[in-house]
Structure 1
C-alpha cells in the first residue's frame, strides 16, 4: 500500500507542476506520467481522468492554504500579510488558481466555496459586533483583501507592472498592504457601533 500512496503523491506533484505551467487544456497526461515516473494508466486508475486529477491537485493545495493561513476577521491586516507571504512563496499555486479561473472546466471546488462563505459570515459577525467597519459588504472586503494580498504575484498584470519596486521590496509592500487593509477594515467603524 505504501508504493501506491507514494505513486499517487508523485503523480500529484508532477500534476501540480504540469497544470500550473499549462492549465487543464494544455496539460498532458503523458508528461505527468513521465515526470512522476509511472505508467500513464496509473493516473487513470487513481484519478479517472484529467479533470478529476486537476480538481484533486487544486483541492489538496487549497486545503494546505486554509491550514497554513487561518482567517482572522479581528486581525484582517495580519491575515492579508500572511496571504501575501504565502502568495509570494507559492507562485505555482497562484498560477494553478489563475488557470482554474480561466478554464472553469473542473466545476466548483466545494471546499473553496464553503471556506469563502464561512469567511463572509465571519466578516458579517465582526461588522455586527463593531470590530470592523460596516461600510463595505463582507464579499467586497474579502475581495479587496485578497486582491491587495496577491497583487504582486507574477500572474497579476497590475502589481508588478504598476509598482515594480513593490516586488523587490517585499517587506515595504507587506507593510503597505497591512496599512491599506486596516484602513479599509476601519472605514465606517464608528457607524457600525
Structure 2
C-alpha cells in the first residue's frame, strides 16, 4: 500500500457508528437522565462527530426513544413470557437487571421523567398481559387477580432487592450483592412468585 493510500480516510461504517452512538447514549441517559444528558458528551463517549447523531437519530427525543426501544427489545429477549410462566420470567428478568445496571438506572429515569409510553413499550406490555391471560384461561395460574395486576406485582418483585433502599440492604448485614446473598434472593423471589401466582 502506498503512503498516500495509507493516509486516505477510510469510509465510515454507518452501522458501527450508529451502534457506538446508541451505546454511548444508553450510558449517558442512565447516568444523567433525559434532562441532564448532553449531546456533546454522547458524541464524545462514542468518539463520533456530533453531526452524525442528528443524521442517524434526528434529535435528543428520538435518540432517547431509540435507547428505550433497544432496552425494551433486550429485556423481551432476555426474559420471555413463554406460556405465561411468571416464575421463569421473574428469575430471568432479575438476572438481566442484575447484570445490566444501566438498564435499571434507565428504567428509573424513564419512569420519573418520561411518563408517556412508546409504541414499543405498549406493545411489549400488552403481549405480556395477553400471555398471562392465556395462562389463566388454561388454568395454570390463579384467575381471581386480573392479568395486568398479577403481572405488575411480579414485575415489581423482580426489582425488589435491586431497588431496595440502602438502609434495607444494609440491615441484612454483609454485602447485599454478594454471590451468596444473590443466590438466596433468587430462591426467595422464585418462592414468592410461585406462591403469588398459584391457584388459591
TM-score normalised by structure 2 residue count: 0.85
What is the Cα deviation at residue 80 of structure 1? 0.8
Between the aligned partners of 1:99 and 1:33, the Cα distance in structure 2 is 21
From 11, 25, 32, the counterpart of 2:42: 32
Number of the residue aligned with 1:71: 81
User: What corresponds to 2:4 in structure 1?
Assistant: none
Query: Who is 1:176 aligned against?
Result: 188
Question: Which residue in 2 is equivalent to 1:162?
Answer: 168
Q: Which residue of 1 aligns with 2:95?
A: 85
Unaligned residue ranges in structure 2 (runs of 5+):
1-10
The structure with more helix, counted as a fraction of residues? 1
- Give the count of matched residue pairs: 184
* SS in structure 1 at match of 2:69: helix
Deviation of 1:38 (Å):
1.2
* Offset at residue 141 of structure 1 (A): 1.0
Matches within 5 A, 1:113-124: 113-124=122-133
CA contact under 8 A between 1:141 and 1:185: conserved in structure 2? yes
Pick the structure with greater CA Rg. 2
CA distance in 2, matches of 1:27, 1:150: 24
Aligned-partner Cα distance in 1 for 2:12–2:76: 27
Does the residue aligned with 2:62 lie in a helix, a strand or coil? helix
Cα distance in 2 for residues equivalent to 1:36 and 1:108: 27
TM-score by length of 1: 0.88
Tell me what 2:6 maps to: none
Deviation at 1:75, TM superposition (A): 3.0
Shift of 1:135: 2.1
SS of equivalent residue, structure 1 residue 115 = helix
Partners of 1:130 and 1:163 in 2: CA distance = 37
RMSD: 1.8
CA distance in 2, matches of 1:7, 1:172: 41
Give the corresponding residue for 1:95. Answer: 105
